[in-house]
Homo-oligomer: A and B are copies of this chain.
Amino acid sequence: MPLKNAHAGADRRWLEEVITATMRSSAAYQMTSRDIGRARGFVREFLATGQSLHAWTISGRATDIAQLVVSELATNVCKYAPGPCLLDVESDGTMLSITMWDSGAVLPSPSPADPTRVGQHGLELVLAVCQSFELRREAVGKRVTVQIALQDSTDRPTSDQTAR
């Protein structure tokens, strides 16, 4: 027979689960150029679901940036590693983790900030807006993981200042 305390513990645990709920979602693409917009829609829906289901507070800036990161990673698959790719998104409501696996073996290299350069601003933008950026070789292909903050914060050195 359960004790009162055990009940209270279970309730607290349940509450914590709701509060610290982690959501995950995955999508596979062949990554033709039309898929780039679909991938943005996918992360937009994911964040909207987090907002309605878990009451995540997500800044407008974060929603924009999440789509930008997905768009850049998807565009690069199109351009440099055409073929199947896997997009994973995960969040606890504070940080959004965006992972793109593709079949290409070569690791991408972000260009340093330089507004006078016409091209190669894709990963520069990603680096400028992210909290972390990770490249990982896999048995086949590679993974790029980008984390972004879902709430704006003036004391955390995100992006815009540091990019300049």
Contacts and interface: CB of A to CB of B under 8 A. Distances in A.
Contacts of A109: 109-113, 123-124, 127
A105 interface: yes
Q: Is the interface of A mostly helix, strand, loop or mixed?
A: loop
A112 B136 CA distance: 16
A110 to B, nearest CB: 4
B137 A135 contact: no
A107 interface: yes
Given A110-B109, A112-B109, A136 B132 contact: yes
A25 B133 CA distance: 24
A120 to B, nearest CB: 9
Each complex incorporates copies of this chain amounting to 2
Contacts of A136: 131-133
A56 to B, nearest CB: 21
B139 A156 contact: yes
A130 B132 CA distance: 17
B127 A157 contact: no
Residue from the set A113, A161, A162 with the largest chain B CB neighbour count within 10 Å: A162
Nearest to A138: B157
Residue from the set A109, A110, A139 with the largest chain B CB neighbour count within 10 Å: A109
Contacts of A155: 139
A17 interface: no
